[in-house]
Amino acid sequence: MEIFLDTADIDDIELYKDFIDGVTTNPSLAAKSGAKDFEGLIKKICKTVSGPVSAEVVSETYDGMLAEGKRLAKIHSAVCVKLPCTFDGLRVCKALSADGISTNLTLCFSPTQGLLAAKCGATYVSPFIGRLDDIGHDGMALIEELVDVFDVHGYETKVLAASVRNLQHVIQSAMIGAGAITMPPKILAQCFDHPLTTKGLEIFAKDWKGRK
């Protein structure tokens, strides 16, 4: 399972680079980073981490997204162009895939959007599980449906669990067989922690220091 860090913060990427297979960004995360030069930021991320770096288009038309996607792909060979699961976003995915450019189809909220993304040759499709849970739907059910559909039909598109809010999202995505997950730094940090590990280490240290 690939683990991506969902951030545009270079310090966090540096901190966790031994544990991640790449990075995913989105316009909100890029804006939050405060970087004025988006393409420069993506280049820096690509140099900091090895593996795919998802960079999202902000254009709203087919022509705009296509041109922007091609421009983003030229920044670095690790760039994975992030496109929305819309009529035009999917058409751009098909065109970029035909050119050998990797893609991540974002804002996926239904199995039909995921199916179309796979048909258009998407490298990844990103179901937003937390945002589905937020409105009373079942985000994990969508992961299960997408994994099943891709398995049954032999699509190579990977399910990339996104909008991850807690460790249950991580554990269940791994158990269901999502090919990838992207986590914000605070969730990845929680993956290392267990109170019994901390307590156990304290006991070992105390016993070691008190040996006769």
* Chain contacts with ligand G3P (rule: CB under 6 A): 6, 24, 26, 128, 130-131, 162-163, 182
Residue whose beta carbon is closest to ligand G3P: 163
Taking the complex as a whole, the smallest distance from the CB of residue 29 to ligand G3P amounts, in Å, to: 7
Q: Is the CB of 26 or the CB of 123 nearer to ligand G3P?
A: 26
Residue found under tokens 């995913």? 24
- Amino acid residing at 31: A
Catalytic residue among 17, 47, 82, 94: 82
End-to-end CA distance of the chain: 46
Instruction: Mark whether 82 is an active-site residue.
Output: yes
Please give the C-alpha separations between residue 131 and each of 3, 10, 46, 164, in angstroms, as whole numbers.
20, 25, 28, 9
User: In sequence order, what are the beta bridge partners of 162?
Assistant: 128
In the bound complex, what is the minimum distance in angstroms from residue 152's beta carbon to ligand G3P? Answer: 26
In whole angstroms, how close is the CB of 83 to ligand G3P at the nearest point? 13
When the beta carbons of 126 and 157 are compared against ligand G3P, the nearer one is 126
Q: List 108's β-bridge partners, or say none.
A: 127
Shortest reach from residue 56's CB to ligand G3P, in Å: 8
| Cβ-proximal residues to 51 (8 Å cutoff; 6+ apart), any chain | 2, 4, 20, 21, 22, 23, 78
Q: Which residues are CB-contacts of 188 (< 8 A; sequence separation ≥ 6)?
A: 3, 5, 16, 19, 20
Q: Which residues are known catalytic residues?
A: 82
